[in-house]
Amino acid sequence: MAIGSVTGCFGRPLMNMWTSLLGRFSLGRLSRGGVRALQRQGEGWRPWMPMGCRWRQTLTAAPLPQGVGSSIRQVQVMDVERLVQVNWEDGSHSFYPFVWLRDNCQCPVCTLHSAKARSLLLSQLDINTTVDRVTLMEPSTVSIVWPDQHTSEYDADWLKKRCFSPEARRAQQEELFLNNRVYWGSDLQIPTASFEEVLHDDKAALDWLMELRKVGIVLLKGAQLKQGQVARLSQRIGYLRLTFYGHTWQVQDKLGANNVAYTSGNLSLHTDYPALHHPPGVQFLHCLTQAHQGGESEVVDGFHVANQLHWENPEAFHTLSTLLVDFTDSGADYCDFAVQSKNHIIDVDCDGQVVRINYNNATRDSILDIPLEQVQPFYSSLKAFVDLMYQPKNIFTYKMELGDVATFDNWRLLHGRKSYVSHTENLRHLEGAYLDWDEVMSRLRILRKAIRGET
């Protein structure tokens, strides 16, 4: 929507009418520097606006959330809309609902600062609260006195970060979750970093996690050739994710394998563990011994391929993102297990963005809980998706070297392995571990804050 739409909403005549009508009730309520001063008529217009136009005005305000040293020129109360309007020195403005401001009072009664958490209970919150007085204490602090004379103070940077304009919200969400990805195919330039540097240097660790989020895979080089390295790397983040395959697991050609990975056969492209309702977000694989012949790794950008499917075959995309498919995994390892799940092959969020791929042909259950007439369309859709992921333009192939630790996004990438010739005297051996994105993103935010020098 165009930024200039405000003019369309507030034609002069309309604005003047409301200025004169409402001005007498509320002008001069707001002041600067703690001095109660009447504003000139015309300055104190009450931006009443018809529904549909109202929120368009927030589009004119595009303060980025990372404002440091933000300065406020003026604050205004919009009693009818029950909003506080903050006019910034740079000419932009933000709106904050009364109820949200009261709910987020930063005083020691309403906030437990040692926990950075809200102590105010919803039962204590008047969701229809009005305001008694709003004052701009200084360019960086807004003070509000509520009808019960409770006083709240809000810092300008804090407010700016929480602006409700669509642009500010988008920027804030990107800062928090880093959901902008770089897609790739067979042309991937696989990002690499030094394993030991990532363990010991904060900047290297941050760069690693940023790339992991953005590209979906980073190859760490030079880990010691002994078990335990993926556990060390997990500790750099926080903790690893225990599953029925253990804290860490050994990918080797095993007699009586309890998982298709534990053979020397070809492993078709898959994500790990869709048999869980919450599959592990991140996977580490450390190459301890490599096969002389075969054993190359294959990876595919699942988000990129799913988007291609959406474009080329929207019906198949719709089927795979709406039908719940049964997955199963049973056996014994860390302990005995009988896991069942129902997952979409393609998970999308409420905006239709692909957020997770859940696909492992080995653990896709023969129990298929869908109506009879949807079975054939389901297979057609799945086949279309798998055919796309196997197009040479979409597959990146590489062979892990000794000491490599592949770290990748298991919600995004599909990975596979070419078959290899198994030798007992040189048994191919990878050690793996899982983590979840919550823990990985937590470490990323902490490292970023430290490197930016933020408190």
Residues that bind Zn ion (CB under 5 A): 105, 107, 109-110
In which region does residue 42 sit, left (phi positive, over 0), alpha (psi from -120 to 50) or beta (all else)? left
**Site of tokens 């595009």:** 62
Cβ-based nearer residue to Zn ion, 84 or 406: 84
Per this entry, what is the length of the chain? Answer: 455
In angstroms, what is the minimal distance from the CB of 115 to Zn ion?
15
In angstroms, what is the minimal distance from the CB of 93 to Zn ion?
25
Q: What is the DSSP letter of 357?
A: E
CB atoms within 10 A of CB 317: 24
Q: How far apart are alpha carbons 326 and 365 in whole angstroms?
A: 5
In angstroms, what is the minimal distance from the CB of 137 to Zn ion?
16
In angstroms, what is the minimal distance from the CB of 164 to Zn ion?
21
Query: Are 306 and 346 contacting, i.e. CB atoms less than 8 angstroms apart?
Result: yes
Cβ-based nearer residue to Zn ion, 102 or 356: 102
Cβ-based nearer residue to Zn ion, 116 or 393: 116
Query: Are 450 and 202 contacting, i.e. CB atoms less than 8 angstroms apart?
Result: yes
In angstroms, what is the minimal distance from the CB of 109 to Zn ion?
5
> Nearest to residue 323, comparing CAs of 315, 334, 312, 331?
315
Cβ-based nearer residue to Zn ion, 101 or 357: 101
In angstroms, what is the minimal distance from the CB of 104 to Zn ion?
9
Count the alpha carbons within 13 Å of 4 in the hemisphere toward its beta carbon.
Answer: 0
DSSP per-residue letters across 426-442: G--EEEEEEE-HHHHHH
Cβ-based nearer residue to Zn ion, 77 or 110: 110
Q: Which amino acid is at 454?
A: E
Cβ-based nearer residue to Zn ion, 109 or 225: 109
Cα four-point dihedral sign 436, 437, 441, 447: positive
In angstroms, what is the minimal distance from the CB of 9 to Zn ion?
34
Cβ-based nearer residue to Zn ion, 109 or 176: 109
